Structure formats: C-alpha cells, structure tokens
A and B are shown apart, each in its own frame.
Chain A
C-alpha cells in the first residue's frame, strides 16, 4: 500500500528562548515491510541539520539554533510503500542482539501487578508467539484509550494502575509484560493509516517482541492487532524516550506550547485532498 504522510510539529514560546537544541527521529528507513519512496525534512529556522544514526540505527537529525525564538516548526513529508508481512519485521537494521531488549527502563519496569497480569494472561498458552498474542488481546481489552489520563513521562506501572492511556502507554505495558515473560521487547514509533481519520493529533506507537525462529514481530496493543500494511515504522528503542519523534531543550524563555498536525492517507487520496485545500 502506498501511504503519504505529513507531520508538522510547532513549538511556540510565550517568552522566546535564547537557544534551542532538538533531536529528531522523524525519518523512516526501508526494510522488507516498507519502502521509503521519498521523504524530506524541513525546519523553519536557519540551522545546520546534521544527520546521523542513533544507537539503534534510527535516522537522527540534530540541530541547534540561536534565538530569540518565538517558535520552531518542523515538517516531515513523504511517501512509503508498505507490504503485509504478517507483523514480522525483517531486513531492518539490527545493531544489538535481542537480549539487549530485555533491559528494564524506568518507563517499562514491571510492577508486581503487571507481573501477575502477564503470568495470569499467558499461563494457559504454550509458545512465545501465542503468549504474546494473549497479551496483545488482554492489554487491548483491559485498557481504555484516554488522552487526558497520562503524559509522556507516565510509566507502565502507573498506566496499569489506572487502566487508561494512549498508544505510548499501551506499548509500554506490552513491553513490560513481554519482558516479564522472558521475551525481548521494544518500542516502535511511527504512523498509522486509520480508516477513520486522515488528520491525527499525534504519531502512533506500538511494540515489537522477539520470537525464536521468527525474529522480531510487531504488536499494536492500542488497536489489538498485529501490524500489516497500515503501519509505517520510523524508530525503535527500549522505550518511548529512545524513539521519541522530537526531543528538545531550550535555554532561557518559557511558556512552551506544542502543536502537532499529522496527516496519514493513501497516497492517491492524499494528493487529492491536499490540492483541494490549497
């Protein structure tokens, strides 16, 4: 499937900062399940955008700008062709053995309640893959999507306590459970082509877990599905922090507000709707 994406992030400051530094993980790479047809990245400030690869092989852009800055806006736009691989991720950059993804992080450390949930959910299943599918279903069932309930620093344990959250929280919980039952697991940030809404307020996130003989397999606990053609994979990491689309810091100033506009649409429909809006 050909998917077109436009993702605009704008930081505005009530008091303009002197300088700002940002790290962007907004550029997808090709692998067996997706081919990046074209992609561009723009920052609306005069700066040198340095491209590199991060620890996990994600494409990373860094820049620093001098102020005073009233706003910084970053736009990425491009087209990706996706293929149904039944959730199996192959041909991607793998810089570490799966065991690295057994590490707990502050955001994904399982609480006693999570450990119990994970072992109860999977006790009747045999084999890692079916255990993971059981977790996928159980997390999708037991959590309510609620954008107001959590924030970017919410841990898996906190989310599980309230049984509410967004895709980031669903994914952290899945990762904590998967590691809890001995399966290496990692966080994926990317985009999701929804049949409901082209215009979205954020990117998407899901998880991948390692299954012997299959390799890395993707699970989307927010939607309760194994990703097929609707997911565009951008960055992986141990948790949200390592894969976050934008991490930034500024010195001086304050009163930061953030606006995100994401449009994900089938390539044909996208150009149509865009030309209409112009």
Chain B
C-alpha cells in the first residue's frame, strides 16, 4: 500500500520476467515491426470514428463530444485470476443487494450497530419512498459496475461499487469487436473467453425480474435521459443489441398505475424498464418536480408492482463512498464470509482522528467527495499543486463528513502502444455484474480504463483516460510451460 514501492507491471511482473498470461503477446510484440503497430493504431481510430463512439464531456470548452482514446494492446488476465475475481465480485454484489433489502426493510444491520444509522438516513441516495416496500424478487442491483485495481501479483482491490446506472459496457463490447478485426492473428494465438453474450445475459436478467403478469414474455424498454446525456451513445447501442425500444420519458405514460409506451399501433404495456436515468429525474411527482425527463406517476406504478425498474430506485444508498468503507463488515454480516476482494484502506474524514491524519498528509493521499463521481471533486495529493491542496484543506475543514481519503495506490500498469513506442500506463478494470432472479454472473472481461498520460493515476474518461480490450485467457500456457519443463 505504500506509494513508494515499485509499481507492478502486469506484463513485466515485479522481477522483470514476463508474466505467464502475457508471454505470447510479449513475444508477438518483439517480432512485430513498429510500422505495423502504427498502421493498426490508425485503423483502430478509423473504425471507432466510423462506429461513432463518442463521449460528451461536461464543462469542456471545445467540442462537447470526442472519441475516447483506445489502446490497441489487450489487457490480459489468466483464467485463474478471473475465477478469483468473479467469485469476489458475485460475493460483493450479493452483499450489496442484501444490504439494500435490509436498509429498506427490517434495518437489522443498523440495529446491530454495524453501520451507523445516520450515514444511511442522511445519504441523499437513500430514498425514503422505498422504505417498507419490496422490489421484485428482492433484487435491487441488477447491473453493477465494480471498479477494480491491483497493486501486485496477489489480490485485487475494489475501488468503488457502482450500483446506480454504471456505464461503459458498450466500450467493452465495441473494443472487442474492433480488436477481432484488427488482430485476428493475436486471437489465433490465445484462447480468449467470449464476452459477446453480454447483451443476451443482460436481457435474460431483465426478463427474469419482470412482473408475474408478463407471463414470461415481458415488454422491456431502455429509458434514456436523451441525446444530450454523456452516455447516450451507449444507451442506443445497448437498446439495439438487446432488441428493445429505446425510450425517453415522453414516450411513456402512466394510466391507473400501469406504464404504457406510445407506439404507432397504440399504447403498449411496459413490464421492465432498464433505466439509465438517475432516481431524481424518474418521476416529477415524487422527485424533482422540474424534471422533464421522467414519467409522471412512474413511482406509483413501480410501487404497485406493475413495472420493474432496473436498477431499483434507491440502489445508490449502497454505493456511496462513505458506505464503501463498511463493505467488509457488510459482507461478513449478511454472508458470514470473509471478503474475497479487498477494500482499499480508507480514512473516514467524519472521524476526528482520521481527519487530523488526512489534513497532515494531503500531499500523499487521494481525497474523494463521498457523493462525487467520474473523477470530479477528487484530489490526487502527490500530483496536486499547492493551491489545489489548500482548496481541499478548506473543503475538508468545512464539511469533513463529505470526504474520504485513501493512500495513493501504486496502480498496476499495462503496456500501451503509442507513436513513440510501447510504454506502461496505469489501469483499472470495471467488470459488469448481472443479478437477476436467475442468479448472478459476470461475463469474463470488463472495461479496462487506462491513464494515457505518463504517471497519471486518473483513468476516468471524463479526465482524458482511454480504454483497452480486456482478455480472460485459458491457462493453456501453464500446460505448455509444464510440458516444456518436463
């Protein structure tokens, strides 16, 4: 955890000997002329421009939409690494779900004193309208995007749980598609686990939580805030892959607690809404009255059990950065198991002792706003200017309860291919966990985000980060290796 330790490169390993999952890629890289890499980079750029993946950046002066940088070298995990990760992710999301069912139900974890009640009830993401109500199949978190980092060969750390409307899965799918076109020879060298079934798995998950009356043939829609949303591309991409209608609030209406979609053939009853719109905007009669993006009466239909929303309203109460610090206890409380994935040690600035320490070590720590996301409202101490540090010192003193702080992790690096050659850059990983009445699962992969600037630790696309294809490969190499040694 010490920021001074040597950073771990996923290709080179700690000792500089190429790690097994990267052996073939490393060899291929050694044999490949730089011109070929350069031309593949150009092709990738062209492909992405043609597909039209863009990302709107809030507050950017110039073009509001731009291409997210894509790196052509895959990030590789071995099957055994993945198995560990997968178990840990499912454990984590199962616990998140149990926690939500509890805080909107009996509140046992609060009575047991494991999680302080005020953190739950004062959290703006805790939705009073959901208290005392059950959601279909008790599932709150249908889709989670859990941000994972590693600092060495051993374990994985969870950086953040995203249980609201996590985005990025379209990049996971598009990156794979582009890679298969660009590097058929690399796919021939590796047995890469498929991820193309993600839309099918997502659809099965959504179908599994439909109200009973849908009789196994539910009408599912994907609800977007509209084309000005930063993730609109993903919304339309996913609706297309799922084969469901992409709707905005104005395409839906509620009559007697039933949701209908306006179609050319008249109103059609809607059973499941995969909503990519925040709680606050869902229903102007319950939440923000000025929201033109939602559907008046939607909450009434939801609470009557006539429509399922994924993720459930109020699911954000579990992925708050303050709640994060309690996740190991939450896992133990509901599952009676030790957490398989570690939490990054975190200082809760609401606690006086922790605050004192944080204020004394601002230049070493990462400070995050409890309710912030997307890398906004965050201080990376070692890379911050004096002015930035002082700004955060003032904020921390004024509202300590709004912040947590973590040691600067020596995030692992992966090679990226740049014009100037191949060089290591920091990465994280967001796998997508699905949870339905039919169980929980994760497609083998995820979105690897990479900080394109040297030494930068901020991988968020809103902050100039890029993405990579993520491969889970069968451990055939280990068999070969064993044979080689025999």
CB proximity to A under 8 Å, residues B132-190: 132
Q: Which residues of A contact B124 (CB under 8 A)?
A: 103
Interface pair B297/A97, CB less than 8 Å apart? no
Q: Whose C-beta in chain A lies nearest to the C-beta of B255?
A: A64
Q: Whose C-beta in chain B lies nearest to the C-beta of A103?
A: B122
The segment from A124-132, A219-227, A245-253 found at the interface with B is A245-253
Cα separation A153 to B290 with both chains bound (whole Å)? 10
CB proximity to A under 8 Å, residues B254-296: 254-257, 284-286, 289-290, 296
> Chain B interface residue count: which class?
20 to 34
CB proximity to A under 8 Å, residues B19-65: none
Interface pair B253/A247, CB less than 8 Å apart? no
Interface pair B121/A96, CB less than 8 Å apart? yes
Smallest CB–CB gap between A123 and chain B, Å? 20
Interface pair A248/B285, CB less than 8 Å apart? yes
Contact A100/B297 with A23-B285, A64-B255, A95-B132 known, Cβ cut-off 8 Å = no
Chain A interfacial residues counted at CB < 8 A:
28
Whether B16 sits at the interface, judged by CB under 8 Å, is no
Q: Which residues of A contact B257 (CB under 8 A)?
A: 50, 62
Smallest CB–CB gap between A168 and chain B, Å? 14
Contact A66/B255 with A21-B297, A248-B285 known, Cβ cut-off 8 Å = yes
Q: Which residues of A contact B129 (CB under 8 A)?
A: 54-55
Interface pair A103/B285, CB less than 8 Å apart? no
A95: contacting residue among B122, B131, B255, CB under 8 A:
B131
Cα separation A23 to B253 with both chains bound (whole Å)? 15
Q: Which residues of B contact A97 (CB under 8 A)?
A: 117, 121
List of 6 A-B pairs having minimum Cβ-Cβ separation, nearest first:
A249-B296, A55-B128, A100-B121, A21-B297, A55-B129, A21-B296
Query: 27 pairs across A/B with beta carbons < 8 Å?
Result: A21-B254, A21-B285, A21-B297, A22-B285, A23-B286, A48-B256, A55-B128, A56-B128, A64-B254, A64-B297, A95-B132, A96-B121, A96-B128, A99-B117, A99-B118, A99-B122, A100-B122, A100-B128, A103-B121, A103-B124, A247-B285, A248-B285, A248-B296, A249-B284, A249-B296, A251-B253, A251-B296
Known pairs A97-B121, A99-B117, A247-B285; list 18 more (Cβ under 8 Å): A21-B254, A21-B296, A21-B297, A22-B285, A23-B285, A50-B256, A50-B300, A54-B129, A55-B129, A56-B128, A66-B255, A95-B132, A96-B121, A99-B121, A100-B121, A103-B124, A153-B289, A248-B296
